[in-house]
Structure 1
């Protein structure tokens, strides 16, 4: 059971960044500027989705009912800082930064690539990013807003010796147990 009295969603697939045993290293930056956050979100989410669907896109009937939920304590601070600095200097903000500054930018790219068309949400929890993400995912499933929820918990390292961390779970409705 979750904190809200609902059964815990079923875990259909799971991935973590960095992957166990992987050497420390950077992620492919792709089309994102200044920040490791969007590539981190995309990398862990795709690793999770590949476990379930092997390759993009997900089957259409599944993708159209899959929600994407980002839970992050700090989100994309480097992009926010780059936009704020440009505004402070009264400089033109690069158009890709304006797109990227929304917490859901990486989710949109991911959803387009994998054919995910369910609700897309981003939260900044006050407490534990996984626990609060699981609670919201459980509500989405219970209210039948989605059949599956891709929950991504991600944050960039804040110190020189720390590592960026991310955890993705593809969740479904809990199995129905027969009444005794």
Structure 2
């Protein structure tokens, strides 16, 4: 599902949005399908579902020969994950186990690091590029802008030609329902005559 992302004029001029995917989209069930190796929480399945919806628009089916060739030609694709709250369900389940004197489930330790789902997405799609996960400033009204700044920094440094931006929240800052948004972006081509 392609949506029209709302970018500030500064970012709209600086990046080209190749595709966008979200979870949930109209008609989706309550939760995305579980991911093998991930338990309890919807954070990683939401991130993966949004990423798949985004990347399928540009690269087709993950793992297919044609898809792998398109990814290879794209070069280094960074993955930038931004989440204010992180994986709250995993943190809550771990805290409940510790408070009850039980050991936390080993999978919860693994998936408590956001890089775990990012690694899953990179492997599934064959993406090769830097990975950055961060929590935007709670006072910042524009986590997408911060993620775009990171992607622009990576592009300017020659570390990646494009970036998959993931914005994942299990509870929105205003109590909004859990959601994930993925955008595949690359630096916009310079306007004619620019830089000459």
Task: Give the aligned CA root-mean-square deviation in angstroms.
Answer: 2.3
Partner of 2:132: 121
Partner of 1:28: 33
CA shift, 1:86, in A, is: 2.5
Query: Within 5 Å, which residues of 2 pair with 1:85-104?
Result: 85-104=96-115
When the two structures are superposed, what TM-score results if normalisation uses the length of structure 1?
Answer: 0.87
For residues 53 and 34 of structure 1, what CA distance do their matches in structure 2 show?
Answer: 30
- Relative to structure 1, the CA distance from residue 92 to residue 168 in structure 2 (aligned partners, 3 Å threshold; closer, same or farther) is same
162-171 or 108-117, larger mean C-alpha shift: 162-171
5+ residue gaps, structure 1: none
1:121-168: CA deviation from partner (whole Å, max 9, x where unpaired)? 111001121111111111111111101100011101369x84222211
5+ residue gaps, structure 2: 1-8
Kindly indicate whether residue 28 of structure 2 is the aligned counterpart of residue 17 of structure 1. Answer: no
When the two structures are superposed, what TM-score results if normalisation uses the length of structure 2?
Answer: 0.80
Higher relative contact order (CA 8 A, sep 6+): 1
User: Aligned residue pairs: how many?
Assistant: 176
For residues 136 and 48 of structure 1, what CA distance do their matches in structure 2 show?
Answer: 19
CA shift, 1:92, in A, is: 2.0
Partner of 1:179: 193
Match of 2:10 among 2, 10, 35: 2
